[in-house]
């Protein structure tokens, strides 16, 4: 047994434990926030709880933390096999994971700004729920249509097999952080519309957070899932049309 192999195993074990710790922290935070949102009479002075209206920079920072931890909770389970595979074949899996999360943290910053603007426009309530049926229906239709596009399929294929082309073609690695960032961008490209659905169903709706995370994992990890993406796209489109039609009848 070479000296590198024990070190590799140790490094993978450390990364696995680290990912598990992040997941526990993230889901604990989301559960705590969910409790606070449902018990505002007792949670008004909770630490890390943003104000209902009139956000200040500190509130933007708190909402960014919420989005960042939510993205980590939703995306890390399906990314862990890729992170470990990278560690076994290239080493430094923690740096790769850092690059992957950086892409989703950038998305979290954009989602925070979007939520702020929607809140200011009274399209999202202080409880982080859509206040506009037209907004919800439009988001659902847009997310459904994206599921049916070639761009979705291309990003999903690269997200599922990030190292396939590099290992098969012998291309020079770009470095673990850049490789992780590239994989994160590919996963962001195939999943950002699904994350946008949270604006329609409730940003802090934990059942939907869990359901979308489970769907993303199934789409990324199960074999031959193109039919799944198309089916989800059709369901989202029909759901969005129903919501828009219902809004138009009132």
Instruction: Tell me phi and psi for residue 170, to 5 degrees.
Output: 70, 25
pLDDT tens profile 207-222:
999 999 999 999 998 8
What's the chain's average pLDDT? 86
Q: What is the pLDDT of residue 8?
A: 66
> For the chain, how many structural domains are there in total?
1
Please compute the mean of the pLDDT values over residues 160-181 and round it to a whole number.
69
- Alpha carbon 25 to its chain centroid, in Å, reads 16
Q: 87 is in which domain, residue-wise?
A: 4-248
71 and 88 Cβ atoms separated by less than 8 Å: no
Alpha carbons 157 and 228: distance in angstroms, whole number = 13
112 and 124 Cβ atoms separated by less than 8 Å: no
pLDDT tens profile 82-135:
998 888 888 888 999 999 999 999 999 999 999 999 999 999 988 888 999 999
Please compute the mean of the pLDDT values over residues 181-203 and round it to a whole number.
94
């Amino acid at each position: 047994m070479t000296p590198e192999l024990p070190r590799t195993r140790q490094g993978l074990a450390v990364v696995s434990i680290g990912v598990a710790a992040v997941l526990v922290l993230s889901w604990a935070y989301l559960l705590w926030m969910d409790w606070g949102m449902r018990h505002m009479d007792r949670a008004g002075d909770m630490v890390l709880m943003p104000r209902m209206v009139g956000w200040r920079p500190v509130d933007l920072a708190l909402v960014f933390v919420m989005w960042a931890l939510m993205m980590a909770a939703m995306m890390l389970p399906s990314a862990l096999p890729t992170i470990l595979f990278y560690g076994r074949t290239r080493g430094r899996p923690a740096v790769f994971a850092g690059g992957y999360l950086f892409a989703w943290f950038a998305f979290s910053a954009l989602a925070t700004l979007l939520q702020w603007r929607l809140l200011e426009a009274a399209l999202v309530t202080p409880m982080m729920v859509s206040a506009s049926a037209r907004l919800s229906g439009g988001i659902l239709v847009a997310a459904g249509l994206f599921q049916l596009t070639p761009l979705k399929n291309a990003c999903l294929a690269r997200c599922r097999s990030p190292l396939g082309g590099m290992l098969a073609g012998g291309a020079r690695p770009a470095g673990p952080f850049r490789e992780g960032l590239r994989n994160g961008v590919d996963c962001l490209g195939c999943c950002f519309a699904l994350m946008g659905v949270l604006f329609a169903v409730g940003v802090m709706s934990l059942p939907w957070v869990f359901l979308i995370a489970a769907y993303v994992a199934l789409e990324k990890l199960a074999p031959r899932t193109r039919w799944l993406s198309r089916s989800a796209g059709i369901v989202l489109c029909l759901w969005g049309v129903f919501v828009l039609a219902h809004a138009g009848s009132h």
